[in-house]
Amino acid sequence: MPLSAPASRQHIHTRQIDLRGYERDDGLWDIEAHLTDVKTYPIDNRWRGQLDPGTPIHDMWVRLTIDIGFEIKAIEAVMDSTPYSICGDIAANFQKLVGLKIVPGWTKAIRARVGGVHGCTHLVELMRPLGTVAFQTLYPALERKRRQADAQLADAQRADANTQDAASATPRQPTPKPPAHLNTCYALNANGEVVRQHYPEWYTGG
C-alpha cells in the first residue's frame, strides 16, 4: 500500500541510492553503491556553471570487495559529479578502509579513518547501507557454511559414539551459533512467531 495522498506541494530534490551485491567467480564478493542528487530547478555552480534541472550535483560510486569473513580486500570510489572541483581529490583516501571488517562498530571505524575532513560526507554515509547489503548478499553462503559445520559436527559426534562403550559414552553436544540476524528487529524476535516457524531450534517463546 502506498503512502496516503500528500498535501499540495512542489518537488524540490531527489536523492537516489542504488545498492547491489555480487558473488564473484574468484570467491570474493562485490558490494556496490551509486548515489545521485538532483534538483528540479536550475542552480548556479561556481565551478561547473549553471546546472539544469535533473543534472546531478552529486554522482558517486563505491565498490567494496570483501571475503566471506566480511573483510574489505579492495575498495574503489569514483566521483563523476561534485559541487566543488576538489571533491574528487579525497577519493583515494578511502583506501584506508582496506583490511577493515564489516562487523559491529563498522560505522565508528569508518569515521575514525575517513570521517570529517579526511573523507566525503556522502561516501561515508553510504558505508552503513553498504554493510547491510553485504550481509544480505553473503547470508545464503553463510547459512550454507553454518549448516555444513553443523553436519560435520554431528557426523563427528556419531563417529565418537560408535567407538565408545555404550555404558560410558558421553557424546559431545553440538554447539552451533544462532543466525546473527535474530533479535535484530521486531519480526525476528526470538520469542516471536517468525522465529518459531523458521528457526524453531532458536525459538525462546512459551
Rounded to two decimals, the pTM is 0.79
Mean pLDDT of the chain: 89
- Quick check: 151 and 87 in contact, CB under 8 A? no
The x, y and z cell numbers of residue 181, run together, are: 540476524
The x, y and z cell numbers of residue 204, run together, are: 525462546
pLDDT (average), residues 67-78: 97
State yes or no: pLDDT of 62 exceeds 70. Answer: yes
Q: Coil, helix or strand for 155?
A: helix
The secondary structure of the chain in percent helix, strand, coil, rounded to multiples of 5, reads 35, 25, 40
pLDDT for the residue numbered 154: 65
